């Protein structure tokens, strides 16, 4: 992503001066997207404005993710390309500061500087508030500056308020880190232990986002429903209490949160889905497997029937809720019976959207050294079966919306002239021909067709208005009123 832009000139009697240029490339989750924006905020006072491409930049930041397969290989491939640009700038008498941030930097800082000694900065996710100091140190001295500790001070206490609007939809990190230690996951080692921001700082940031025009706010965290921050009353609040407070902020029409863990899905949070109209009826709740034996090997801390009961409670509280999840095919030790248990859970619960992957080893995680690794061909077959069933369910969910009426948040122009784009309450992309609507409007539309990954709709003659969704939820999507 490109960094947000501060003003490019100084106005008044002061002559314009060129600014340094910053390019940030972001891989991975929305947490990384949020982190990249905050890094740009931190660097803006140093005079860094956005660059459209690395070729134009005085500083390039690669914000990395360790979750996906071959993350390190992708990083070093990109660094090889950037090395050529860096050398070209040096030959022309200029300098490019090259930084590697994020989870790969945290996990493999020494390896990065050994294989790519031309990298100037290596910083983990908990240290980007120190970027100005790191840039100064890198400018003064040769050699890489590495910051991959988990500092005693919390970075959110040192970050400036963001003044750059995110747009109609915005992300807000409220929790970081993980104490779950799932066998396949590196997050506890790269993001550290669970930390919750205070309610006051979260609410203040949400109010700034709303004042800047954000109508939908998505709360982020590695285990976002484990949030338990200090409340406005000095007591510890849970996520349900925070959501109720955020829903009262003027201008906020929609709230979401991701990613959740089944172990932290308590009854009060489930009830909030039925009680808070602004809380959208879509929940990403990773289960990973439908086999109790594999869930235990994964150290997930829940059983398949626990997940089924949570789904039942959520649908009792909010009948129109749609679920999304994650699945891993071929975790070490998984056999055919375990795989079929996963297929059974998918059929029992039903998902509007899901992400599924083959198990891939992450160095340093317990599963990486486990015996009984599943052959690649078998992982491929199981993944294809999982994805085929999930695709069938997603298509069925989208088709269930055809001929019905839904509220859509307009997010901006579509790909074609006169077209607008938006999102349904269930996160489906929606495209339609506009009739005076503006980004940020919430309008009622009739669904005309279900496309492979979106809905085609026609706007109603009379918009639904800009308030929150209706307080009485209906099954997806709401039946269109009789003519």
CB 149 within 8 A of CB 392: no
Confirm or deny that 103 is annotated as ligand binding: yes
Give pLDDT, residue 358: 94
Confirm or deny that 406 is annotated as ligand binding: no
Q: Do domains 20-147 and 400-483 have the same CATH topology?
A: no
Query: Looking at the domain covering 20-147, what would its CATH class be?
Result: alpha beta
Confirm or deny that 401 is annotated as ligand binding: no
Six-digit token pair at 288?
Answer: 């990973």
Residue 49 has pLDDT above 60, yes or no: yes
Looking at CATH, the fold of the domain delimited by 155-398 is given as pyruvate-formate lyase- activating enzyme (3.80.30)
Residue 151 has pLDDT above 90, yes or no: no
Per-residue model confidence as pLDDT tens digits over 306-316: 999 999 999 99
Residue 68 has pLDDT above 50, yes or no: yes
Confirm or deny that 477 is annotated as ligand binding: no
Place of tokens 């009622």: 444
361 by DSSP, 3-state: which? Answer: coil
Distance CA 420, CA 299 (A): 45
Per-residue model confidence as pLDDT tens digits over 264-306: 999 999 999 999 999 999 999 999 999 999 999 999 999 999 9
Ramachandran sector of residue 427 (left: φ over 0; alpha: ψ -120 to 50; beta: rest): left
Q: What string of H, E and C letters represents the secondary structure of 373-398? A: CCCHHHHHHHHHHHHHHHHHHHHHHH
Residue 14 has pLDDT above 60, yes or no: no
Distance CA 244, CA 94 (A): 52
Confirm or deny that 185 is annotated as ligand binding: yes
Give pLDDT, residue 466: 44
Per-residue model confidence as pLDDT tens digits over 212-227: 999 999 999 999 999 9
Burial call 295-321: b when 16+ CB within 10 Å, e when fewer = bebbebebebebbeebbeebbebbebb
Q: pTM here?
A: 0.78
CB 370 within 8 A of CB 334: no
Distance, first Cα to last Cα, the chain: 46
Six-digit token pair at 428?
Answer: 């489906």
Look at 153-162, 255-264, 278-287, 467-476 and tell me which has the smallest mean pLDDT: 467-476
Residue 462 has pLDDT above 80, yes or no: no
- Outline where 1-157 has alpha helix (H): 30-43, 71-91, 103-115, 131-140
For residue 14, give the DSSP letter: S
Distance CA 423, CA 28 (A): 21
Give pLDDT, residue 320: 95
CATH superfamily of the domain spanning 400-483: Nucleic acid-binding proteins (2.40.50.140)
Place of tokens 């925070």: 242
CB 164 within 8 A of CB 37: yes
Give pLDDT, residue 150: 56
CB 464 within 8 A of CB 270: no
Spans of all domains in the chain = 20-147, 155-398, 400-483
For residue 366, give the DSSP letter: G
């Amino acid at each position: 992503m490109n960094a947000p832009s501060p003003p490019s000139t100084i106005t008044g009697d002061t002559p314009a001066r060129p600014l340094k240029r910053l390019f940030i490339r972001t891989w991975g989750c929305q947490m990384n997207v949020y982190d990249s924006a905050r890094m740009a905020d931190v660097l803006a006072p140093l005079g860094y404005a956005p660059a459209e491409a690395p070729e134009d930049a005085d500083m390039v930041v690669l914000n990395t993710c360790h979750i996906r397969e071959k993350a390190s290989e992708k990083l070093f491939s990109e660094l090889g390309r950037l090395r050529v640009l860096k050398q070209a700038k040096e030959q022309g008498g200029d300098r490019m500061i090259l930084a590697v941030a994020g989870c790969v930097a945290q996990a493999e800082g020494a390896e990065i500087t050994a294989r790519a000694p031309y990298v100037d900065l290596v910083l983990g996710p908990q240290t980007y508030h120190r970027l100005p100091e790191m840039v100064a140190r890198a400018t003064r001295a040769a050699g890489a500056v590495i910051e991959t500790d988990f500092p005693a001070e919390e970075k959110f206490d040192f970050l400036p308020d963001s003044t750059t609007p995110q747009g109609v939809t915005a992300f807000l990190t409220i929790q970081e880190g993980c104490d779950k230690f799932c066998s396949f996951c590196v997050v506890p080692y790269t993001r550290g232990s669970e930390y919750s921001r205070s309610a006051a700082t979260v609410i203040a940031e949400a109010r700034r986002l709303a004042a800047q025009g954000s109508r939908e706010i998505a709360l982020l965290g590695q285990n976002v429903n484990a949030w338990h921050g200090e409340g406005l009353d000095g007591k510890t609040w849970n996520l349900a209490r925070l959501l109720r407070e955020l829903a009262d902020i003027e201008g906020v029409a929609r709230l979401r949160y991701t990613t959740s863990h089944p172990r932290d899905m308590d009854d009060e949070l489930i009830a909030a889905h039925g009680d808070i109209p602004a809380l959208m009826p879509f929940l990403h709740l990773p289960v990973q497997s439908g086999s109790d034996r594999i869930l235990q090997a994964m150290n997930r801390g829940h059983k398949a029937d626990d997940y089924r009961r949570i789904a039942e409670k959520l649908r009792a509280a909010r009948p129109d809720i749609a679920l999304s999840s994650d699945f891993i095919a071929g975790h070490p030790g998984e056999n055919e019976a375990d795989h079929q248990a996963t297929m059974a859970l998918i059929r029992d619960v039903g998902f509007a959207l899901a992400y599924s992957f083959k198990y891939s080893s992450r160095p340093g995680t317990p599963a990486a050294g486990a015996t009984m690794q599943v052959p690649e061909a078998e992982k491929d077959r199981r993944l294809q079966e999982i994805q085929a069933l999930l695709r069938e369910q997603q298509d069925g969910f989208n088709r269930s919306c055809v001929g019905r009426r839904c509220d859509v948040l307009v997010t901006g122009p579509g790909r074609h002239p006169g077209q607008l784009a938006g999102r349904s309450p269930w996160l489906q992309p929606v495209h339609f021909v506009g009739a005076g609507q503006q980004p940020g409007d919430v309008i009622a539309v009739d669904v005309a067709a279900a496309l492979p990954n979106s809905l085609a709709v026609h706007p109603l003659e009379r918009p639904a208005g800009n308030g929150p969704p209706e307080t009485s939820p209906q099954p997806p999507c709401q039946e269109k009123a009789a003519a």
